[in-house]
Amino acid sequence: MTSIGATAVLDRQGLEALVAALVAGGRTVVGPTVRDGAIVLAELDSAEQLPYGWGVELEAGRYRLRRREDGAAFAHSAGPQSWKNFLHPQREKLWSADRSAEGEVTVRTERPLPPSYAFLGVRPCDLRAIAIQDRVLSGGHFQDTGYAERRRGAFLIAVECTEPGATCFCVSMGTGPGADSGFDLALTEVVDDTGHRFLVRVGSEEGATLLDALPRREADAATTGAAREAVAGAVDKMGRSMPPVDLHALMGASLEAERWDDVASRCLTCGNCTMVCPTCFCTTTEEVTDLTGDHAERWQRWDSCFDLDFSHLHGGPVRSSGRSRYRQWLTHKLGTWHDQFNSSGCVGCGRCIVWCPVGIDITEEVTALKEEAER
């Protein structure tokens, strides 16, 4: 019987067996695959749908697929989606109400039984993001019951990062490139002269049970060493880094910084950064009705602090300028998030840099704020 902390090695056939076992067990397997010119997260029926032989080129405001010669499945950086798309979906019906001819109103909750998810390919930065959303959405007094139900049954298979992108900065945020906890199984992909394989580490009893059912072999010294070297080497390959400063204190002391005017002149307030961020959680609700007026529904959907109406109170929005809205996002993400949730809201995945249409770089902005504060 495999125990927590044990290691083993899977080959490509073993990875295929892993996905097959999860599907056979009633799991909805979600993992990376190539679609629409990007590596996206989608439901998988087979491990053959993984992006073998595909990598990505990342830069501020730029994302491109590129072919790889080694056939690696997980040698790519974060794509446009995160796992919050499944745990905290963009739009969700909360309830519906119907009025009978006699005027009696019946209200029904509309949350169906959630899928039993298995997430394959969760990067360490995204493991931390899931842990942060756990704290925000299910760790306090007011819980998002839909999130809690979807999260409760999710099986997490992490993949350690061995080839970070040009916009990654997880090392400086303390969230990668290795996975330490929060997973059921953790994979480290190794492709070298001796073959293509995956070092597996067990993180839970459920993970141990699943691994026992798979074709595998004992972890050998060569594979274990190669996996460790690959993860350690990723530390020096980060394309970005957050400056070594107390971000909580810096944000609090920079509310009147001139840099906000500079970034506001470039920011489109489109909200892309909040949509792709794996930890942004803001929502709003909307009620809709049919033409008869006898049927109504309430929906919850994502919202963004970049939307003009997000801070609308009687008389108008509190944050009417692009400067104030960008400042709100960044100071909350890196500063006041600590006050609310005892952690940063940033995990260093770099998605906000890549998917910003004008290439605003969060690490560059913080560096500028630091330099201005030191003048």
What is the CB neighbour count within 10 angstroms for residue 54? 20
Residue 278 to residue 235: CA distance in whole angstroms: 21
- What is the pLDDT at residue 41? 97
pLDDT digits (tens, 9 = 90+) for 36-95: 999 999 999 999 999 999 999 999 999 999 999 999 999 999 899 999 999 999 999 999
Contact 286, 301 (CB under 8 A): yes
Report the percent of the chain where pLDDT is more than 70.
100
- What is the pLDDT at residue 317? 85
Residue 202 to residue 174: CA distance in whole angstroms: 22
The larger pLDDT score, comparing residue 113 to residue 123, is at 123
Mean pLDDT, to the nearest integer, of 289-302? Answer: 93
> Within 13 Å, how many C-alpha atoms sit on residue 39's CB side?
26
Q: Which two tokens stand for residue 98?
A: 């119907």
Cis peptide before 317 (omega within 30 of 0): no
* Whether residue 111 has pLDDT greater than 80: no
Q: Which two tokens stand for residue 262?
A: 């500079």
Total-model pTM = 0.94
Residue 103 to residue 151: CA distance in whole angstroms: 39
pLDDT digits (tens, 9 = 90+) for 126-179: 999 999 999 999 987 888 999 999 999 899 999 999 999 999 999 999 999 999
- What is the pLDDT at residue 104? 94
Q: Which two tokens stand for residue 38?
A: 């990007």
Per DSSP, which regions of the chain are E strands?
7-11, 28-35, 38-43, 54-59, 62-67, 91-99, 105-109, 117-122, 155-159, 185-192, 195-202, 217-218, 283-289, 295-302, 312-313, 316-317
Residue 316 banded pLDDT, cuts 50, 70, 90: confident
- What is the pLDDT at residue 60? 97
pLDDT digits (tens, 9 = 90+) for 200-227: 999 999 999 999 999 999 999 999 999 9
Give 84-143 as a DSSP string: HHHHS-SEEEEEEEEE-TTS-EEEEE--PPPP-EEEEEE-HHHHHHHHHHHHHHHSSSS-
* Whether residue 258 has pLDDT greater than 90: yes
Q: Which two tokens stand for residue 322?
A: 């692009």
Contact 160, 177 (CB under 8 A): yes
Residue among 177, 266, 274 at smallest CA distance from 227 = 177
User: Rg of the chain's alpha carbons, rounded to an integer?
Assistant: 22
H helix or E strand, kind and range, residue 223: helix 221-234
* Whether residue 228 has pLDDT greater than 90: yes
Phi, psi of 254 (to 5 degrees): -115, 20
